A and B are shown apart, each in its own frame.
Chain A
Amino acid sequence: MNAPRRLPAKDVVIIGLGWTGSILANELTDEGLDVVAIERGPWRNTADDFAPNTVQDELRYRIRHELFLQPSQTTFTFRNRMNQSALPIRTWGAFMPPNGVGGGGVHWNAETWRFLPSDFVLKSHLTQRYGARFLPQDISIQDWGVTYAQLEPHYDRFEYLCGTSGTAGNLNGQIQAGGNPFEGPRSRPYPTPAQAQPFSHTLFAKAAREMGYKPFPQPSGNLSQAYTNPLGVRMGPCTYCGFCEWFGCANYSKASPQTTLLPVLVRKPNFSARDQCEVTRINVDASGKRATGVTFIDSSGVEWEQPAELVILSAYTIFNVQLLLLSGIGAPYDPQANKGVIGRNFTHQTISDVESFFDKSKFNFNPFIASGAIGMCIDEFNGDNFDHGPHGFVGGGYMGQVQTNGRPIESTPVPPGTPRWGGQWKQAVRDNYLSALKPGTGVHGSMYSYRDVYLDRDPTYQDRFGRPLIRITMDFHENEIKQNAFLTDRFAEVFQAMGAHTVNRKYRKGPYDITDYQTTHLCGGAIMGTDPGTSAINPYLQSWDVPNLFVMGASAFPQNAGYNPTGTLAALALWSAHAIRTRYLKNPGALLHA
């Protein structure tokens, strides 16, 4: 191939224009910098791509994965254990890699959680409370190097950018009725009140309350009312159509880069974007300590070099790790030697569900009245909100009736024992559609990090450019299986109390199944921390090795908590942007010396 054509230098190049790329683009253009974002997928906006009369198409978007990366463009290989050979993933299962402008912010459900204060100091907290010997062998959890208190203003900014609907549970240390009493203190209420809850969600809350729990509405980026964000972008009230996850929102009511940031960003003369362009490498100078820009390939196969003073890596978790590995930035993780950092502490989530069936003459749930982040939840079994001592595991998750839809293909639960097709199946669907509940991700458990769960370069399989695919090595450990059994049982008890005649517990069991969807919350692989020996980036998300490279996203999480990650990764992006604006730009260089 010829030498790449060189484009005029920019102040900043952003790799991937999803949530964190859009946030950084907005922050850094506000600083007056000339910013270009390079996005592998297509440009997408509400007006052209998400029409309310075509977007509610489960076959097109959910089953056929319209908004997602196509494995023919690039994929990963997978194996459970280190002694196995990994094989390429040819259709998505356990998670759905996003693609295109807006990234995962387009197709998410918009659950907008904050992590618990103890989640950010997990290792020291658990060690202090239970002793180091209580932790599973080979667990590699770490403290984050940033505290909840430091992130709070940035959580707040993100929620006000999105117009998040919710009920505060802790205002400046004062516990609030109706909110989550376990959450960290927030400096002000949610910008909009919680969404109205349909019947089944209300019933779950009532049963939970009677059992002594403190149910609260899930914080939602599907708005309860019209909202104008601080940038002047208008959002509309959610219409409860029940087509959030896998779909773009046509009503301007689900927070996404398209509905909060991009309308302002695209008007800025110092912002530009290239879609359908895939960054193949972050370039570094001869010293290896300074990024000089990126190389990308456009849809015609032409290779370009985009020089820049500052590089923001804000792709999806695995692609962040891939670009670091393929660019030779940071030491690749070696699980045998337990050395190196890139690919380390890769995690996902431990999800399970309970399907419950009620007497149809007494219960009509109208499950199609829903939104992606609707739901009534309890947080008694999340993080370290309960004493793990008697249970022999660590971690937890929120749980709740968070049913997001009553769509015809995937949300037609039938009781155990029903044939999977034919007349009896159809009759069972008819009999149960209105009176059965399927929360989907009812138990939203954490997954902690282990020495043998990681990402590296596959030795066999390559992408269309001849680069090694990323290999996922992941299995559930006993700690997570025990955690899930305990949580699923607690969850099922609430449905029994609601009056279900049949409760089908769908425990999460090992081995980790790459074909069964859990969530798209892949975390870690380029984690943050205060020790360059065990982290790829410092607490400001700045590469230890290349100080003019910042790595955004959930790849920074040292382990995953029992919540959806977007609120936290967005808060981290704003926290990092703040450090860049107030400190790095004044004196470019390492913000923290180890």
Chain B
Amino acid sequence: MPEGTTHALWRALITAGALLLSACVIAQGGDSDHFDDIQRGRYLTLAADCGACHTDPAGGRPFAGGRPVHTPFGTVVAANITPDAETGIGNWSDAQFEAAIRQGIRADGKRLYPAMPYPYFVTLTPDDVQAIHAYLKSVAPVHQHVATNRLPFPFRERIVMRVWNALYFDGSEFKPDHGKSDSWNRGAYLVQGAGHCGACHTPKGLLGGDKTQQSLHGDSQQGWFAPNITADAVRGIADWSSNDIVAYLKTGHNQFAAAAGPMAEVVTDSTAKLTEADLTAIATYLKDQPGTTAHHTALSAQDPAMVAGAAIYSDLCSACHKPDGSGVPYLIPNLVRSDSIASREPTSLLHVVLHGAQTAATGAEPTAPAMPGFGRQLNDAQVAAVVTYVRNSWGHAASAVAAADVRAARAKHE
């Protein structure tokens, strides 16, 4: 048995002991206020990016809820998870908290919607869930009622979640792969659990459940395409080194690409605050996720859309992104090596070309360069042509984009 695994076993035993101990404390009516628990919980809260939804970005108090989460089924509003007894979760026991986090069952027995990513959090260890609870109990209570359910019928009936859970929620815990390194397993634990990367990056079925066979193969969300982050050679990040991935998550930027849209927020609120060791673990795991894309053939350079796209690219794009697409490291994305160019769906590329985007600002990379939108300058056919050109140049091969796709993207944005 590798040494690391032995340690993990010991850790599990010690944790179990600690859990028993804290259960005793709670039984006596006290709270867990152990410094180590609270700080580990705080870190996991960052890794899980709880604040992204549970803090209203429009100046809301931390964890007091109020941010609407728009799903294909309607709007759910994140709850108040401060320890306020009446409007928050101040009266919840550890067991009730764990049921909510890992099973999607509230203290009152009602079902949560998977906008709260309990299908991922189920893989968190009970010990880690308890630490998160310890941290949340330490933040300032805020008295604020939040009407969380704004879904239309039938989805507003929480009972439908029983059906959904039966279809999609397997409730299985994290299973370490003993054939892999500790770092790989830590990465897997973070990606599958707290990080809930699949919530955006894994394609969804008709009712919003993960297509588990295509884990992390990329999906369109909120007007962006969360790209394929496996080691897929065609669509994924096979040509990013572990350091490139760590830099991206730590600073929002690496030599090829930058985080924009929802991922910019994930970086600034969450991944930028994680340890190098954990980010390296995430990179180790991602780089070991196999790709499945069959070889694609690029459109011919003589294709009319490619000819038009090349001309538009030369006129409007090449001054910054360079004629060969190589950009400027850490400032202007490299269109050859960026992960978002030849993605399965052109959602992100269309978003950026039509509406522009600003990249993440972090302490290490404060510049936060932006690209302007060209939606007023280019018509649908022109946008389609230049996006098709970029998706089929410099070694890329991806589906052509039609003017109708551009029209649909514009309509969706309004």
Chain A interfacial positions (CB closer than 8 Å to B): 46-48, 51-54, 226, 228, 231-237, 239, 241, 250-252, 263-264, 267
Is B12 in the interface zone, CB < 8 Å from A?
Answer: no
Contact residues in B for A264 (Cβ distance below 8 Å): 366
**Cβ B364 vs Cβ A52 within 8 A:** no
Q: In whole angstroms, what is the CA distance A263 to B361 when docked? A: 8
> Which one of B63-71, B191-199, B225-233, B324-332 is at the interface?
B324-332
User: Number of B residues whose C-beta is below 8 Å from A?
Assistant: 22
Name the CB-closest residue of B to A241: B319
User: Is the pair B369, A226 in contact by a Cβ cutoff of 8 Å?
Assistant: no
Alpha-carbon distance A241/B367, docked complex (angstroms): 22
Given A52-B372, A263-B361, answer yes or no on A237-B366 (Cβ-Cβ < 8 Å): no
**Chain B neighbourhood of A239, CB < 8 A:** 319-320
- Return the contact of B328 from the options A48, A232, A237, A263 (Cβ within 8 A): A237
Q: Is the CB of A252 within 8 A of B367?
A: yes
Contact A51 B319 (CB under 8 A): no
Q: Is the CB of A236 within 8 A of B328?
A: yes
Q: Is the CB of A226 within 8 A of B328?
A: yes
A264 and B367 alpha carbons, distance in the complex (Å):
8
Task: Flag whether B402 is at the interface (Cβ < 8 A).
Answer: no
Question: Does B369 contact A46, Cβ atoms closer than 8 Å?
Answer: yes
A226 touches B372 (CB 8 A): no
B320 and A236 within 8 A (CB): yes
Q: Are B366 and A226 in contact (CB under 8 A)?
A: no
Cα–Cα, bound, A47→B331 (Å): 12
5 interchain pairs (CB within 8 A)? A231-B366, A232-B364, A233-B366, A252-B331, A263-B361
Q: Do residues B369 and A47 form an inter-chain contact, with CB atoms below 8 A?
A: yes
Q: Judge if B75 is at the interface, Cβ distance under 8 Å.
A: no
Q: Is B374 a contact partner of A53 (Cβ separation < 8 A)?
A: yes
Nearest opposing residue in chain A for B319, CB measure: A239
The reply to whether A251 and B367 form a contact with Cβ atoms under 8 Å apart is no
* B365 close to A232 (CB less than 8 A): yes
Q: Measured between alpha carbons, how far is A267 from B329 in the docked complex, in Å?
A: 22
Assembled-state Cα–Cα distance A226/B331 (Å) = 9
Bound form: Cα–Cα A234–B369 in Å: 9
A50 (CB) vs chain B CBs: closest residue:
B372
Partner of B368, one of A47, A235, A236: A47
Instruction: Name B366's closest neighbour in chain A (CB-CB).
Output: A263
> Given the complex of chains A and B, what is the CA–CA distance between A228 and B365 in angstroms?
10
When distances are taken between beta carbons in the complex, the residues of chain A under 8 Å from B29 are: none
Min CB distance A51 to B, Å, is: 3
Complex-state Cα separation, A236 to B320, whole angstroms: 9
* Interface residue? B358 (CB, 8 A): yes
Judging by beta carbons under 8 Å apart, are B356 and A267 in contact? no
Question: In the bound complex, how far is the Cα of B356 from the Cα of A48, in angstroms?
Answer: 10
Contacts of A267 in B (CB 8 A): 361, 363, 366
A419 to chain B, nearest CB (A): 35
B23 within 8 A of A: no
Asked if A54 and B372 sit within 8 Å, CB to CB, the answer is yes
B377 & A53 in contact (Cβ 8 Å cutoff) = yes
Q: Nearest residue in A to B251 (C-beta to C-beta)?
A: A232
B372:A51 contact, CB within 8 angstroms: yes
Contact of B319 among A46, A52, A234, A235 (CB under 8 A): A52
Residue of B nearest to A231 (CB): B366
Q: Are A46 and B366 in contact (CB under 8 A)?
A: no
In the bound complex, residues from chain B placing their C-beta under 8 Å from that of A53 are 316, 372, 374, 377
4 more CB-based (< 8 A) A-B contacts, given A47-B358, A234-B369, A252-B331? A233-B367, A236-B331, A251-B319, A267-B361
B368 x A263 contact (CB < 8 A):
yes
Flag if B331 contacts A234 (CB, 8 Å).
yes
- Tell me the chain B residues, 61-94 only, with Cβ under 8 Å from chain A: none
Q: CB-defined interface of B141-165 with A at 8 Å, one 1/0 digit per residue?
A: 0000000000000000000000000
